[in-house]
Amino acid sequence: MLTAKDAEFYRENGYVTVPGIIPPEMVEDLRGAADAAIARMNAHKVETNKLWGGEWLSKDERGAQVVDAIHDPHFHDAAFFRLVAHRPFIDALVALLGPNVQLHHSKLLAKPAAKGGGFPMHQDYPYFPHERHTMLACSIYLDDADEENGCIRVVPGTHKLGPMACDPGGYYLPPKDYPVAEGVPCNSKAGDAVIFNYLTVHGSEPNRSPRPRRNILIQARDPEDLPTNEHHQSRGQGMMLAGINPIPVPARWDEKKPAAAKA
Ligand SMILES: O=C(O)CCC(=O)C(=O)O
């Protein structure tokens, strides 16, 4: 599904779009699973609104916006596990990362109609820095996503700039220098994916439409690209999605690198 030209586009621009990575019946299944997982959490009084913290929003804006998020949804419903094992998804990652692909984490994001919140422009790098920067995100849409309901926006080529200085308020770029509205909108249909490197600057605007915008974002890496700190831990981290882990002892943040993996 991803051609050599697509992989070249990814290398040059730091992102690529993949139409129809999951079929309509899987989209339906995942929509139901997403809504039910959020409802179950809320029924158990677990807060799912994870609107990004910091001063990039005023108090009033913050009070009016919601982004429901569930980390590692494959621990909530097998439908999400089937997604991380879905062949076309894995093939796309292999085309960009090589034969060995390792899961880092995943999350379900839901921007409700009319009040769905945005994300300031940022790189994912500061949350889980790695040595070789192979980490990428594959965001799979469960709804048609456009500028009205807050599709992902990217700044092409920024993955080549390396780690950038964050705003003093948090792990995002100074909003006045990086307005979300100036990012390239990745308009997509339900079932499409947008894949971007963790250094590629991205964000999204609020959902101002009468439609929901739900997506599942899966982060993966080359298993030989090791984390440089222990900040981001999650359940299921390190599962192999394709190929093998060439490091004989799976590398965890609290283990020393095996001798064979040292440069
Ligand atoms: O899905 C979106 O609108 C953006 C998500 C995002 O940037 C993130 O989770 O890092």
- Residue 150 CA: which ligand 1 atom is closest? 3
Please give the radius of gyration of the chain, using alpha carbons only, rounded to the nearest integer. Answer: 18
Q: Which of 107-111, 159-163, 211-215, 230-234 has the lowest mean pLDDT?
A: 230-234
Dist. CA 248–CA 243, nearest whole Å: 13
For residue 153, give the H/E element and its range.
strand 152-154
Q: What are phi and psi of 48, to 5 degrees?
A: -105, -10
Q: Which atom of ligand 1 lies nearest, measured to the CA of 215?
A: 1
Q: Counting atoms of ligand 1 from 1, which one is nearest the CA of 152?
A: 3
The Cα–Cα gap between 10 and 18 comes to 11
pLDDT band at 225 (very low <50, low <70, confident <90, very high): very high
Q: In Å, how far from its chain's centre is CA 81?
A: 16
Q: Please give the distance of CA 161 from its chain centroid, rounded to a whole number.
A: 20
Which among 67, 70, 109, 143 is the best mutation to test ligand 1's pocket, defined by most ligand atoms within 8 Å of the CB? 109
- 63 alpha carbon – ligand 1 mean position (Å): 19
Sorting pLDDT into bands at 50, 70 and 90, what band is 230?
confident
Q: pTM (2 decimals)?
A: 0.94
Q: Strand 68-71 relative to strand 184-185: parallel, antiparallel, unpaired?
A: unpaired
3-state secondary structure of 216: strand
Q: Identify each DSSP E strand in 159-253 by its residue range.
A: 184-185, 193-197, 202-204, 213-221, 240-242
The CA 84 to ligand 1 mean position distance, Å, reads 18
Task: Please say whether the dihedral angle defined by the alpha carbons of residues 17, 22, 28 and 29, taken in this order, is positive or negative.
Answer: negative
Mean pLDDT, residues 253-260 taken together: 52
The per-residue pLDDT for 257 is 56
Write down the pLDDT at residue 263: 43
Q: Which residues contact 197 (CB under 8 A, 6 or more apart)?
A: 10, 14, 15, 133, 135, 136, 159
4-261 CATH fold: Jelly Rolls (2.60.120)
